[in-house]
Amino acid sequence: MLARVEGEGALELSIKDGKIEKLHLRIFEPPRLFEKLLEGRPYTDVIDIVARICGICPVAYQMSAAHAIDSIFGVNVNPWVRTMRRLMYCGEWIESHALHIHLLAAPDYFGFENVVAMAKQYPDEVRRGLLLQSLGNRLLRLLGGRSVHPVGVCVGGFYSAPSVDAVKTLLKEFKQALPMAEQLVRWTAAFNLPDDQQLFTSVALCHPHEYPMNEGRIVSSSGLDIAINEYQNYFTETHVPHSTALYSHFNGQPYLVGPLARLNLNLGKLPSGVRQLITESGIAFPSNNMFHSVIARAVEIYYAFVESIRIMEQYTLPAASCMDFSPKAGVGYGCTEAPRGILWHRYELDEKGDVVKATIIPPTSQNQARIEQDLQTSLMSFGLDHGDDELRLRCETVIRNYDPCISCATHFLKLRVDRS
Amino acid sequence: MYFVCNTFPETQSRPVVKPVAIIGIGSPYGADQTGWRAVEFLKQDHALQILSDNQIKFMNCDRPGLTLLDYVADSDCAILIDAIEGGDRGNVIRVEKNQLLHDSVGFSTHTLGVVEALTLGTQLNVLPQTIELIGIEVGDTSSDYLPEAGTFIQLKHVIYNLIQSYFTSR
């Protein structure tokens, strides 16, 4: 079952003789059972239902599902559909990353309790975050009709194509905001981030010609290179007693998905202008400092702006916004790069196109084991002799750095320290 | 008819630069639909229909979070209508802004609501000059209660007064 993790979590920490005896990130959000809910439903329902799994990254769920069902029906989308799917994904990265950087992560690095407190001293930066997020949402509305749980995506493409005028209007605003996105990279690179080098395995999609969003093979920093339909041969999900979220492992070990993993594995796929900006920022990628995730998010916002502008400049109305197809039975896979990392779907459909079985593995559950591993290392490096409040803040900062859905409650963490 | 045509005489003599935004906040479920239903009722009102698109715009939004700041961005006057948990069902109340705003909100992207959005909007000075929140008390929000016509008629007069005050003050 798919166990979602948005909502409240808690950290249970036992320290004995100056060592961590137990560290459990407890997720007690009840399972939402979307996979079971999909069984028996027609393929036409799938994309709108899975969008409801997350209010921040619904497009990722829609795209993974659309690609999986396309593959079952043998749909080969035209270049217009492929490009618009990429454009829509850019919108989601922009809105999700902008929200996380400015509203959730930045207060940690500037020493504020929340974004309201930070806005008193840094109003321009917070305004920039809201503007960037708003532009990402505008892109989602352009193709999806609305920004939360969009309704424009269907199997084989989109229900309709936006007008040339609507695209031109948005293009103008994106060009105006591009310097802000560039400024954001420099801003995050100047954060006083902890220097916390760790060993971890990065996992992401990799496409031969472009920075990955909708397509590619699954690769890792340890040399894995597989087709998406081989995922379950290498990655396992298990239950743990203290969490309703499933824990994922690769070769029995935790691994990282998300912006830092993507950037570490796909640096060469970025346009030269984006790579130049990274060089000028003074941060070297690939990076083993998990706190560089916030910079990776900023880089991806800038890239998504560059890519959106490129696509919108070439926009024309299509002959058809959706491919013709006939439902058929089969098994299909979809794996796309959600803002938080790879989102893997598998569907088995019958001859009418009704769902027989669905499997959805979201990035947050893939990162759960890695978060616990990071906390172990980070806390030892930070020092366990700090007070409970300081430990809690450091733990929160480490966890929020992954942008898991549970980080949505900014001060969610209830820390219970047993110092026996 | 005279009343209908002259409910907002101030609009005839002064050009409106930005429209008044009337925004229903809620969701498609149970008593939380109240804000949306209220806006649908107001849209049918002749006196409000006489105001042009440049003078008034109606919107419904589903738990908008910070997107609320986008919805109000193009207006100098925004009137938000939302269901309020508890109280006497059908009671229409005008909520003062300072009753809502506080600094200690725990920001959460999934639970980020009207209060948090207005708090941040105030801090960033991006809210319209006039912003009004009209609450309709619905008791238990998990119920299927929806206000009766009398509540919406009462609401309509509150809205009339707010719009007249706004146009007069400009």
> What is the pLDDT, as a whole number, of residue B96?
73
Packing angle, helices A293-313 and A164-189, rounded to 10: 160
What string of DSSP letters covers A376-400? Answer: HHHHHHH-TTS-HHHHHHHHHHHHH
Q: How far apart are CA B163 and CA B153, in angstroms?
A: 15
Best of A114, A133, A138, A141 to substitute, by most chain B Cβ atoms within 10 angstroms, is A114
Confidence (pLDDT) at A404: 80
Verify whether the Cβ–Cβ distance B107 to A148 is below 8 Å.
no
* CATH number of the domain bearing residue A259: 1.10.645.10
* Strand A341-349, strand A355-361: pairing: antiparallel
Contacts of A137 in chain B (CB under 8 A): 67, 70
A55 and B103 within 8 Å at the Cβ level: the answer is no
DSSP reduced 3-state for A339: coil
- CB A80, CB A321: distance < 8 Å: yes
Chain A nearest-CA distance from B99, in A, is: 17
Helix (H) or strand (E) holding B35: helix B34-43
pLDDT at A17: 85
| Peptide bond just before A339 cis, omega within 30 deg | no
Whether B119 and A116 lie within 8 Å, measured CB to CB? yes
Q: Which domains does chain B have, with CATH numbers?
A: 17-140+147-169 (3.40.50.1450)
Query: For chain A, what is the domain count?
Result: 1
Name which of B27, B103, B110 to mutate to probe chain A: the one with the most chain A Cβ atoms within 10 A of its Cβ: B110
Rounded to a whole number, what is the distance in Å from the CA of A29 to chain B's nearest CA? 13
Question: Does a structural domain hold residue A1?
Answer: no
> Which among B62, B103, B125 is the nearest to A116, CB-wise?
B103
Q: What is the ipTM of this complex?
A: 0.75
- Is residue A37 situated within a structural domain? yes
State the residue range of the domain holding A30: 9-418
Mean pLDDT per 10-residue interval, chain B, length 170 residues: 55 67 90 93 91 84 84 91 89 80 50 80 90 90 85 95 87
Return d(Cα A205, Cα A220) in angstroms, integer: 9
Tokens linked to A396 = 């929160």
Residue A153 lies in a domain: yes
Task: Kindly list the strands in the beta sheet with A330-338, ordered across the sheet, starting from the edge strand earlier in the chain.
Answer: A330-338, A341-349, A355-361
Distance from CA of A377 to the nearest CA of B (A): 27
Q: Is B4 helix (H, G, I), strand (E, B) or coil?
A: helix
CB-CB contact of B50 with B160 (8 Å): no
- What is the enclosing helix (H) or strand (E) of A361? strand A355-361
* Contact state of B70 with A117 under an 8 Å Cβ cutoff: no
Closest by CA position to A410, among listed A400, A420, A401, A418: A400
Would you write out chain A's pLDDT as a tens digit for each of its 420 residues?
A: 222 234 567 788 888 888 889 888 877 666 678 889 999 999 999 999 999 888 788 999 999 999 999 999 999 999 999 999 999 999 999 999 999 999 889 998 999 888 888 999 999 999 999 999 999 999 999 999 988 889 999 999 999 999 999 999 999 999 999 999 999 999 999 999 998 899 999 999 999 999 999 999 999 999 999 999 999 999 998 888 877 777 899 999 999 999 999 999 999 999 999 999 999 999 999 999 999 999 999 999 999 999 999 999 999 999 999 999 999 999 999 999 999 999 999 999 999 999 999 999 889 889 989 999 999 999 998 999 998 888 888 888 898 899 886 533 223 445 566 765
Q: What one-character-per-residue DSSP string does A60-122 give?
A: HHHHHHHHHHHHHHT----HHHHHHHHHHHHHHHHHHHHHIIIIIIHHHHHT-SSHHHHHHH-
Q: Which residues of B touch A117 (CB under 8 A)?
A: 103
Lookup result for tokens 């715009």: B57
Question: Taking CB atoms and an 8 Å cut-off, how many pairs form between chains A and B?
Answer: 66
- pLDDT one-digit tens code per residue, A243-262: 777 789 999 999 999 999 99
Q: Is residue A3 part of a domain?
A: no
* Tokens representing residue A249 in the block: 């492992």
Q: In this predicted structure, what is the pLDDT of residue A5?
A: 35
What pLDDT is recorded for position A412?
42
A126–B109 CB contact, under 8 Å: no
CB A182 within 8 A of CB A277: yes
